[in-house]
Chain A
């Protein structure tokens, strides 16, 4: 039991931050909600599937469950930012110096805005590729779609982002 908990702790330490990041990008920056959903995904894994899933599968399982939760969340509230989230986000303590913080925040906002212009399936596929470095086959496994659809979705997402990014002057060489 102790070793199972240790394994779970290791998995949690490895993937909880990246799952939070994935959800944050997917949800358009609602960090507290993203953290809640990531925790809920791990909770489901711990309660139900841990011990029955092969360790290599647990990661895909987590992303699949987290994505479904995010989709449910979209359906519930669309893209409306809940007041509570905004308050928490505003009150969050910021440790870095203000200039650095401002720059990071600007870049984050831009990335999030761009990502929000993509359809959900393209956004998820692109995030799993760029942030989690999953292969097309693995992404197909998570999203339950064919590899060719993943390939097309990722290409379309990139092409569309590139076009938008080009219009925004002064941010990159794109």
Chain B
């Protein structure tokens, strides 16, 4: 560190970075969801691929679903901690 940055400024910068990261994650999450949820449509719509696909893809879809809502929960958690207090409420 050649530049001298005050601890307060550094903390503010850190907070701002964290807030931006939470916002970005929240923005990106539905894109992940779209990719995950459209997967069967992209993969299975061929002629034979759909044979006996219900059981495994059922498991896949619920896993993806669970993953999404766990991620959403985490984002919500970080949002409450980092963003909400300063979101002009």
- Are these two chains actual partners, yes or no? no
